[in-house]
Amino acid sequence: MEQIYVIAALWLGLSVFSAIIAHHLRISIALVEICVGVIAANIVSRFFGPNVFGNNLEWLKFLAATGAILLTFLAGAELDPKVIRLKWKEVVVVGMVGFIAPFLGCAAFARFILHWDIRASWLAGIALSTTSMAVVYAVMLETGFNKTEFGKGILGACFINDLGTVTALGLIFAPFNYKTIVFIAVTASILAIFPIVTSFLTKVYGNKTAAIRVKWVVFVLFGLGALALWSGSEAVLPAYIAGMLLAEFASKEHHWVRRLRTLTVGFLTPFYFIRAGSLVSIAALIAAPLIFFVLLAGKVISKIFGLYPVIGFFRKEHSEKWYYTLLMSTGLTFGTISALYGYSHGIVTQEQYSFLVAAVIASAVIPTLIANLVFFPHHLLAKQPGKLMSGGIDEE
């Protein structure tokens, strides 16, 4: 038990340090936590041993996974159904192009430049086709764009993008058996009554019983997550749809959403982002940096060349187009999930997995950093000056 408290204190201390750096540099705390995770894990492994940092401990992986699930749920809950209905063409077109362009482009890079075998190449295309809902949503919260139609449109396009990634992974690699059918049927049934039961619990017990809505939501997400893992899928997959189904409800119930957001961002997501960074081996990147740069370039180039012209049909202002494009070029959650799936099932080697994860994490950091420092569309937040990169997620 003592070791658990020591490691938890270390990681949350790193999170506090990341928050201070993010405040002074005026960049997303999620990106700082990833970078701090990379540096801290490699330093600890170098001087104290590979297992001292604790990133592979089961309880820590559970906290990290819980952070990813709840952050994905909150991202879905932030979607405004009215905005999505009005912007459905933008959301669908940008999201589909955001998936197809890097999926084909990165698979081609891996196959014809790196000479990976065909299965590893397709896996690389899938892993690098994602847009990181976790990073984008964290940035939306910190900047205040989650309350604008611009930010909600980006979040909607992220969903379509990642839906394409998940579908491709399932169709190309994942086994389709009776467990898959059970998972789809049970998930659809539960999600169909999810908003109804949530509204009932709120009406009867809301503001009377301690945090019953948060407990109910987490109960459903954990149950669906367990079912997803049993079927060979991933626990985060049902979370976004569950959030979307409660989007209209969440827009009327601000207080419980803020409490859940504080719990998620203040306690859980630091474990997720720091652990994501800790998986990167600096030694492996130094040994063969060209592979890393090829994969990263393949993702970013194919995203930009595919998305920038398309986004230009919907956003005319220069900074808006570039900001939108660069945020859609990020990757993290489903990218690392896809890479780990490939490694676990022998589709890619440990070395290939390391380079994929490094490229995915770099794509979460570099495009977002450039977007916030160079192309930040300040004019869209003119009515909310206090939110501009304040990072005050728990102070709303």
Rounded to 5 degrees, φ, ψ at 94 are -65, -40
Task: Report the interhelical angle of 58-77 vs 2-25 (nearest 10°).
Answer: 40
Give the pLDDT score at 383. 56
What is the pLDDT at residue 205? 84
Cβ contact 223:190 at 8 Å: yes
CATH code, domain with 187: 1.20.1530.20
Q: What is the pTM of this model?
A: 0.79
User: Are 68 and 333 a contacting pair, CB within 8 Å?
Assistant: yes
List the one residue out of 282, 194, 211, 225 whose CA is nearest residue 253: 211
Query: Collapsing DSSP states into helix, strand and coil, what is residue 232?
Result: coil
Classify residue 235 by its DSSP letter: T
pLDDT tens, residue order, the chain (396 aa) = 888 999 999 999 999 999 999 888 777 787 788 889 989 998 988 888 878 898 888 999 999 989 888 988 887 787 767 777 788 899 999 999 999 999 999 999 999 999 999 999 999 999 999 888 778 888 888 888 888 889 888 988 988 898 888 788 878 886 678 888 999 999 999 999 999 999 888 888 877 767 788 899 999 999 999 998 888 777 777 887 888 888 878 777 777 888 888 888 889 989 988 988 888 778 878 888 899 999 999 999 999 999 999 999 999 899 999 999 999 998 877 788 788 788 878 899 888 988 998 898 888 888 988 998 899 998 888 755 444 444 444 444
Q: Residue 227 and residue 200: Cα distance in Å, rounded? A: 24
Running DSSP on this structure, what letter comes out for residue 143? H
Sign of the C-alpha dihedral computed for residues 196, 250, 267 and 341 taken in this order: positive
The number of folded domains in the chain is 1
Quote the pLDDT of residue 389: 46
Beta strands in 182-340 (DSSP E): none
- In degrees to the nearest 10, what's the CA dihedral of 44, 46, 51, 57? 50
pLDDT number for residue 105 = 94
Domain range for 149: 2-395
Q: Is the sign of the CA dihedral 153, 157, 257, 269 positive or negative?
A: negative
DSSP 119: H
Question: What is the tens place of the pLDDT at every residue in 40-59?
Answer: 998 988 888 878 898 888 99
Q: Following DSSP, what letter does each residue of 331-352 receive, concatenated?
A: --HHHHHHHHHHHHTTSS-HHH
Give Cβ neighbours of residue 167 (< 8 Å, ≥ 6 apart): none
